[in-house]
């Protein structure tokens, strides 16, 4: 830590030169990870161990998510990545969609969003990916976004469903007053296009986001497939909502860590999982 009292500030030129070198060295030590899967290649900037691990586990952490994107997302389509984090699945989807389509990536966490921007640029996908730093909800307004951590690559930060909830009593690092809106509002205003596929992984608010897209799910431009992270106590509510809009649960898959826990206790409903829904054909 560089520490001085006010009387000795600013430090001398030698000290300033030394710390500039340290900071430049830190920037050069950041890693650019280049991953090739045979057909596509992906690049990610990593400055922390956490985001480095996210990139290294791109195919192993959630193989079911990779398979869903690979098998369903086609060229020139529209994809929503809701809870994009640093953009691992955003980049996977955008690489398949190409310049004729669009990926709308939603990530309210400030540090994650900054790295998402970096990774979009590294992959030259500026014309394909539209990054958005606001939150999604079942209603529009200002709400407190609670940071569990300010570090890049972290998860579990959460938008409060109650605009008066500051999170002060739950050990939250800090709460940011953040704008949130609904998917239906964005589509109706023409700000975004209706999607062919949606991924929702926001660590708990999935049901509220789905409620905010009821018009989309019941309209004429309904997405063909939707992957939703399922967490208690909202699993039953989400299943009922999706069935009510003629979406069938066609597959569910677990993260690598959840699958390991599942093998220990054998209860498939005791752990969160990703549910893949497909639109039932009209009769």
Q: Per residue in 230-242, pLDDT tens?
A: 988 889 999 999 9
pLDDT tens-place string over residues 104-116: 999 999 999 999 9
The answer to whether position 12 is within a domain reads no
Answer for the pair 192, 221: CB distance below 8 angstroms, yes or no: no
For residue range 100-157, list pLDDT tens digits in order.
999 999 999 999 999 999 999 999 999 999 999 999 999 999 999 999 999 999 989 9
Is 27 within a domain?
A: no
pLDDT confidence of 250, banded at 50, 70, 90?
Answer: very high
Choice between 11 and 124, residue whose per-residue pLDDT is larger: 124
Position 26 in a domain = no
pLDDT of residue 161: 73
Number of domains in the chain: 1
Written as six digits, the tokens of 42 are: 């992906």
256 part of a folded domain: yes
Query: Does any domain span residue 45?
Result: no
DSSP letter string, the chain: -----GGGPSPPHHHHHHHHHHHHHHHHH-EEEEEE-SS-EEEEEE-SHHHHHHHHTTTTSSHHHHHHHHHH--TT-EEEEES-TTSHHHHHHHHHH-TTSEEEEE---HHHHHHHHHHHHHTT-TTTEEEE-SEE-SS-EEEEEEES--STT----EE-SSTT---TTTT-SEEEEEEEE-HHHHHHTTSSPPPSEEEE--SS-HHHHHHTTHHHHHSSS--SEEEEEE-TTSHHHHHHHHHHTTEEEEEEE--HHHHHHHHHH--GGGS-EEEEEEEPPP-
CATH number for the domain that contains residue 168: 3.40.50.150
**Average pLDDT rounded to a whole number, residues 1-25:** 71
Q: Is residue 53 part of a domain?
A: no
Longest dimension (CA), the chain: 80
- Name residue 143's beta-bridge partners: 178
Residue 193: domain span: 59-279
- For residue 178, list its beta bridge partners: 143
For the record, the structure tokens of 124 come out as: 């030259």
Look at residue 176 and tell me if it is in a domain: yes
Q: Assess whether pLDDT exceeds 60 at residue 94.
A: yes
Mean pLDDT score, 175-179: 94
Average pLDDT across the chain, whole number: 89
Q: What is the mean pLDDT of residues 249-275?
A: 77
**What phi and psi values does residue 116 have, to the nearest 5 degrees?**
-55, -45
Residue 281: pLDDT band by 50, 70, 90 thresholds?
confident
Domain-located, residue 46: no
């Amino acid at each position: 830590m560089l520490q001085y009292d006010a009387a000795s500030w600013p430090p001398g030129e030698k000290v300033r030169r030394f710390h500039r070198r340290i900071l430049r060295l830190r920037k050069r030590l950041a890693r650019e990870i280049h991953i090739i899967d045979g057909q596509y290649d992906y690049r990610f900037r990593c400055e922390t161990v956490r985001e480095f691990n996210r990139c290294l586990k791109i195919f192993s952490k959630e193989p079911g998510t990779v398979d869903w994107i690979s098998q369903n997302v086609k060229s020139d389509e529209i994809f929503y990545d809701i809870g994009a984090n640093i953009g691992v699945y955003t980049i996977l989807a955008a690489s398949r969609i190409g310049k004729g389509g669009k990926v709308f990536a939603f990530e309210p966490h400030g540090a994650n969003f900054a790295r998402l921007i970096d990774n979009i640029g590294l992959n030259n996908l500026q014309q394909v990916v539209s990054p958005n730093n606001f939150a999604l909800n079942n209603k529009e307004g200002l709400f407190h976004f609670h940071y569990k951590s300010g570090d890049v690559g972290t998860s579990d930060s959460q938008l409060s469903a109650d605009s008066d909830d500051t999170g002060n009593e739950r050990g939250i690092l800090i709460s940011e007053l953040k704008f949130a809106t609904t998917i239906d509002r964005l589509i109706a205003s023409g700000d975004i296009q209706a999607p062919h596929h949606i991924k929702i992984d926001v660590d708990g608010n999935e049901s509220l986001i789905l409620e905010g897209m009821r018009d989309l799910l019941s309209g004429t431009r309904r997405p063909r497939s939707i992957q939703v992270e399922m967490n208690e106590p909202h699993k039953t509510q989400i299943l009922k909502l999706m069935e009510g809009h003629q979406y069938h649960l066609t597959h569910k898959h677990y993260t690598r860590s959840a699958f390991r826990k599942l093998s220990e206790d054998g209860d498939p409903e005791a752990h969160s999982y990703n549910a893949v829904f497909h639109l039932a054909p009209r009769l």
